[in-house]
Amino acid sequence: MDMSVIIRKGEVKDMPFVLELIKELARFEKEADAVIIDVNYLIDNGFSSNPAFQVFVAEMDNNEIVGMALFYSRFSTWKGKSLHLEDLIVKENKRGFGIGKALYAKFLNYAKQQKVKRVEWAVLDWNTNAIAFYKKYGATVFDDWRIVQMNENQLTAFTTKA
Amino acid sequence: MDMSVIIRKGEVKDMPFVLELIKELARFEKEADAVIIDVNYLIDNGFSSNPAFQVFVAEMDNNEIVGMALFYSRFSTWKGKSLHLEDLIVKENKRGFGIGKALYAKFLNYAKQQKVKRVEWAVLDWNTNAIAFYKKYGATVFDDWRIVQMNENQLTAFTTKA
């Protein structure tokens, strides 16, 4: 890495910058209005006695947070405990310096330490740069699985009728 | 439902039957050898002080466990806490009696109670029965997201090099 960047565990004070990165990715994924959580929600859920997620951040020597990898535990009924990488984000004007690779490596090394049997995440099929990155570093992209969701309105509609 | 079936929270004693259902689904998904966990692993991880999953089971009046819905918490950086339905399984010879619907409804009502903003799961694109079921009951199937994974060997290869 040519820039002076450290990768470290995210702290409460980083959450405003983590939220900005989340919103930047949502704009890139054409879902700018989809982010309904706020800084306090991140703090309450990420720094409780039973945290809902963990995060690594990339910090430059001027203390700017320029990237993050946010993840949490999942459970595969085939393999057992796994880790899910929810977001891997580097600020657009800080790409191309290896920061994404450094965050990805930090996450994967942590997963290996935790002895999980699988790591996983999701990618948009038109995000060819991300897909090429993941394949280059040894991950498998599955073409035959589809993600299914119910949002809050769909859940309310179903449970009101059922 | 025409058969006498109750849906209840799974207990330690149910785990051998839950594992059999997991293996039945793996055979259906053409991955019979993919299941590496055992009954003790399910007990250790599902019934600790911080359980990695929860499960509802469908029990017939002869005490046979004929289906289950296994799920756990996830965290969306857009919506906050969500629940992931890892497996929804009904024994092949007990299908068509509404047991899958009853398990699905139990899970969704639980999610609503927990005030999560989203529920989600994954389905194979050739499993047209399952896709029709989910759509009929109000879920959205996303065509543009792909699942990416590293298995244990891929994780070891990456972390040894990096």
Question: pLDDT tens-digit profile of B58-95?
Answer: 999 999 999 999 999 999 999 999 999 999 999 999 99
User: Above 50 in pLDDT, residue B1?
Assistant: no
* pLDDT tens figures, B80-135: 999 999 999 999 999 989 999 999 999 999 999 999 999 999 999 999 999 999 99
Residue whose token pair is 């692993």: B41
Q: Does B144 touch chain A (CB under 8 A)?
A: yes
Q: Does A132 touch chain B (CB under 8 A)?
A: no
Report pLDDT for A28. Answer: 87
User: Above 80 in pLDDT, residue A2?
Assistant: no
* pLDDT tens figures, A22-62: 999 999 888 889 999 999 999 999 999 999 999 999 999 99
User: Regarding predicted confidence, which is higher, B2 or A72?
Assistant: A72
Of B48, B159, B83, residue with least CA distance to A115: B159
User: Above 70 in pLDDT, residue A3?
Assistant: no
Contact A148, B123 (CB under 8 A): yes
* pLDDT tens figures, B44-53: 999 999 999 9
Q: Which residues of B touch A123 (CB under 8 A)?
A: 145-146, 148
Contact B120, A122 (CB under 8 A): no
Report pLDDT for B3. Answer: 67
Contact B53, B73 (CB under 8 A): no
Q: Which residues of A touch B145 (CB under 8 A)?
A: 122-125, 146-147
Q: A86: pLDDT confidence band, cut at 50, 70 and 90?
A: very high
A157 Cα distance to chain centroid: 29
For the record, the structure tokens of B99 come out as 């047991």
> Are A159 and B109 within 8 A, CB to CB?
yes
Catalytic amino acids of A?
Answer: 134
Chain B residue with CA closest to A147: the answer is: B122
Report pLDDT for B29. Answer: 83
Report pLDDT for B32. Answer: 85
User: Above 50 in pLDDT, residue A1?
Assistant: no
Rounded distance between C-alpha atoms, residue B142 and residue B139, angstroms: 10
ipTM of the complex: 0.92
> Are A152 and B37 within 8 A, CB to CB?
no
Chain B residue with CA closest to A89: the answer is: B77
Domains and CATH numbers, chain A: 5-161 (3.40.630.30)
Contact A116, A84 (CB under 8 A): no
Residue whose token pair is 């002080």: B49
Report pLDDT for B161. Answer: 79
In this prediction, residues A71-88 reach a mean pLDDT of 96
